[in-house]
A and B are shown apart, each in its own frame.
Chain A
């Protein structure tokens, strides 16, 4: 389609610096750039007073949609755009501190997308911006084809959210909580009754309809919140640490629910977590986020292969044997690192296929192999390699502490 021109003002307004003095125009400009970005425009070098948007239209499906790489499929909304969520240079500052720092990504329709990161990485802030609860300091985000700032109501209509902290009204019953939600989303009486029954059954709480939420256990509250998030049949479901502080059984149950909703109702799901196994079990794609930046985004498999490393532990008879073997093995090209602990040699790199070669090398060196222990590359390896090993301080005020204590106290009962 060739090149499109946008004035400096428009570009600047979308987080490419500069300030807009006319507030009303700001949203319109913002939206204009959003549309262009959705249509596949790419911002390139400035040319004098103008910036160039290289407009390369994304492939349109006519009739059957071709499958997309990494799961998901083409989805066209009414504007003819492809991705359900688009974030372009999304930034959020709190008191000059960048919680989310110029993050760009796209999420396809029907995908389960994970935001994995250490505490305080900016996952929740990012999620809140996509869910229209925080206004971005800079950048553009579109959900289901609508701008999260200028068309917040349209976005809200189409999304469901389950927050990290409980957001139920404890003094209302399960039914009343769901009924409140359904009424707020403008559902009529018949639909309300039917959907509430459906979602309660979905999460196995149909027997607790008229029980006050304060009498629910933590897991039951979580399930009720997920039910509520699904009540208005959203196109996108945001889950912020959905299984934080839950026992293994409940966690499994909730994972199953999430997967099934994604498969049966084709809901696009964005989930933040800091549990590796959760991200791996659930997500089609994972973005690893640290200090407000996405440092890697791919399928769990590819992340493991590119950033993790398999390791083999070879137990030999003595330390001197081990040292001799280590010296020999480090000569292999595919080996990334060798270390010796007493009579054990740890070899990183390679993969399952490299095991025979390593063992053979041991035989050739005349070292007797007592035991072998092969460990596949895990997401945790990849995660640690990408984010480093230092421990993060959990940000939180005294008030958070009080609230958490309160929540725990209620859950225990």
Chain B
């Protein structure tokens, strides 16, 4: 009897395995909700763009010598960094929005739906990526009136190809950056019980990540241990890649940036999915 009953159960388990782990319709639904909300809450968009915009506006006039920032005009050095910053903040916010949903109950509505947790995470990443990409591109456009010039990749055949290829590649790197930090946000939101942990994350994680990334200033002259920390910061590679794509100058080879960001995205998404899977609401 025992053997028979486990046979039966075994067969049913196989059937269950066919329940889709990836559910495109659900991912689209979650994406749709995120984008509707984003464009409905215009004041929030404006608010979140405020800080990077002012960083850009005020720091653009810093009297920094070109020789101290890899031979670039400071605005050309700064703008990709500020785009990286925008992506960091908006992606982290998108990931942490799990907390808002927890707070206002909507997470339960999502969790009782017959949709795999992986699809839920992917839906949130898709939504968050769209909204933070939108903000990143907006910030890039805002840099132009302040004197920012796109030089493009420096090894390209013609200037047109350099600029176009550089921008497209930059958008691709922007995606990788946002996936990394949405994953991190989801992971944190799954561990945090409520909103009170939010400022802790912002002040003790997001700001260090931002300052260590070399978005505002090169880290060449800093002590060894600061630079070591910076090398552990995914945003360092993100900002470096954006600089390389947009103004043609960077610290690391583009391939290294790519590898580091792919690695960090996979790690963060995995961690986010793992911790989210275990949340009980």
Chain A residues with CB under 8 Å of chain B are: 4-7, 10, 27-28, 31-32, 35-36, 131-135, 150-151, 153-154, 156-157, 159, 161, 163, 165-172, 176, 180-181, 183-186, 228, 399, 403
Contacts and interface: CB of A to CB of B under 8 A. Distances in A.
Nearest to B278: A135
B199 interface: no
B25 A183 contact: yes
Given A153-B114, A180-B29, A180-B33, A165 B105 contact: yes
Nearest to B110: A184
Contacts of B13: 27-28
A10 B281 CA distance: 29
B33 A169 contact: yes
A28 B6 contact: yes
Contacts of A153: 16, 19, 114-116
Nearest 7 A/B pairs, CB to CB = A167-B105, A183-B29, A184-B113, A156-B114, A157-B114, A167-B109, A399-B194
Contact of B196 (A32, A168, A176, A399): A399
Contacts of B196: 399
B2 A7 contact: yes
A404 B193 CA distance: 16
Interface string B192-211: 01111000000000000000
Interface of B: 1-2, 5-6, 8-10, 12-13, 16, 19, 23, 25-26, 28-29, 32-33, 36-37, 40-41, 103-106, 108-116, 193-196, 280-281
A5 B25 contact: no
A180 B31 CA distance: 10
Contacts of B195: 399
A166 B104 CA distance: 7
B280 A168 contact: no
Contacts of B28: 183
Given A28-B10, A28-B13, A151-B16, A169 B26 contact: no
B121 to A, nearest CB: 14
Contacts of B1: 4-5
Contacts of A157: 114
Given A169-B109, A170-B104, 7 more contacts: A4-B1, A168-B105, A171-B41, A176-B33, A183-B29, A399-B194, A403-B104
A243 B105 CA distance: 17
A163 B105 contact: yes
A121 B95 CA distance: 35
Contacts of B103: 403
Contacts of A35: 5, 8-9
A170 B41 CA distance: 11
A166 B12 CA distance: 36
B40 A171 contact: yes
A132 B112 contact: yes
A399 B280 CA distance: 17
B9 A154 contact: no
Given A169-B33, A172-B37, A185 B6 contact: no
B29 A184 contact: yes
A91 to B, nearest CB: 15
